[in-house]
Amino acid sequence: MKIGFFDSGVGGISVLYQALKIMPNEDYLYYADTEHVPYGVKNKEEVKSYVLEAADFIVSQGVKALVVACNTATSIAIDDLRARYDLPVLGMEPAVKPAVCRLKGMACNKRVLVTATPMTIKEKKLQHLLHQWDQKHIVDLLPLPKLVTLAEAGVFTGEEVDNYLQEVLAPFHLKDYCTVVLGCTHFNFFKDGISRFFDDDAVIIDGSLGTVCYLERILYERGLKEKNDGQIEFYCSGQLVSGAKQQFYQSLLQRLEQLDN
């Protein structure tokens, strides 16, 4: 059986990429809700209905686990999804805990910058994480909605990206930050562009590896691991994808591999 991965668009491909590295012998179904992307700037109830519709479709295809490879969708619908299906449902959350814990071991006054969509920043899940882990108030928040639109257009580098990052980062004293959290899966495609603004010893982290390691553990514990060919089926809002769109998605896996090296 396949493992279902879901995102509003291309962002979750960065989580799928980690899964392919760790579990190359599983088969995957990747679902991008391209009809409704971006989620992060929309109304909460509207997004929740899109997420439930997409997840119903994915589960109807017969998957053994569902990974909500989207911080925004996780923030607003993970409890509903877990109550709705009798299979493991995993989500994503901004990596606030590892970012803050990294700083605890250092004797310095450095700060953490958490980037996410406007909806993730407003929602209870992130606020709860901050309440739990950021007692010293060393975390600052930055919404980056335009990176979602740029990623959907396949624009990951160049003047438009650089100008946008320059503009949104201008109010921050960038030397203060030693950790940047990518709290939206779309942002993983811009890791190189973002890291250029920070000191060489600053690290850029995200939650995808943590989610995938947890997925592997759950599959193992439930005896659900398989030896398949590592096939991937891509869907866009309920339609199986082929041709140029499929090639575009495959090319994104290659971009992530380049960023990794």
Catalytic site residue 213?
Answer: no
Instruction: Kindly state whether residue 125 participates in binding ligand DGL, applying the rule CB under 6 A.
Output: no
Place of tokens 């877990």: 82
Q: How far is the CB of 110 from ligand DGL (least distance, A)?
A: 25
Q: Is 40 in the site for ligand DGL (CB under 6 A)?
A: yes
Cα distance between residue 89 and residue 106, in whole Å: 35
Binding segment for ligand DGL (CB under 6 A), chosen from 36-44, 97-105, 158-166, 219-227, is 36-44
184 is catalytic: yes
Determine, following the binding rule CB under 6 A, whether residue 147 of this chain makes contact with ligand DGL.
Answer: no
Closest CA to 17 of 73, 67, 79, 53: 67
Alpha carbon 178 to chain centroid, angstroms: 21
What angle in degrees, to the nearest 10, is found between the helix axes of 13-22 and 208-221? Answer: 50
207 interacts with ligand DGL by CB under 6 A: no
Which of 108, 184, 213, 236 is labelled catalytic?
184
Under rule CB under 6 A, how many of the chain's residues touch ligand DGL? 17
Minimum distance of ligand DGL from residue 75's CB (angstroms): 8
- What is the enclosing helix (H) or strand (E) of 246? helix 243-260
Question: Is there binding between residue 112 and ligand DGL (CB under 6 A)?
Answer: no
Work out whether 188 is an interface residue with ligand DGL (CB under 6 A). Answer: no
- Burial (Cβ within 10 Å: 0-12, 13-18, ≥19) of residue 258: exposed
Applying CB under 6 A, does 185 fall inside the site for ligand DGL? yes
Question: Residue 114: which residues within 8 A CB-CB, separation 6 or more?
Answer: 94, 96, 99, 126, 139, 140, 141, 142, 181, 183
Q: Does residue number 184 form part of the binding site for ligand DGL (CB under 6 A)?
A: yes
Binding of residue 4 to ligand DGL (CB under 6 A): no
| Cα separation, 181 vs 184, whole angstroms | 9
Q: Annotated catalytic sites, by residue?
A: 70, 184
Interacting residues toward ligand DGL by CB under 6 A: 7-9, 11, 37-40, 70-72, 117, 120, 148, 184-186
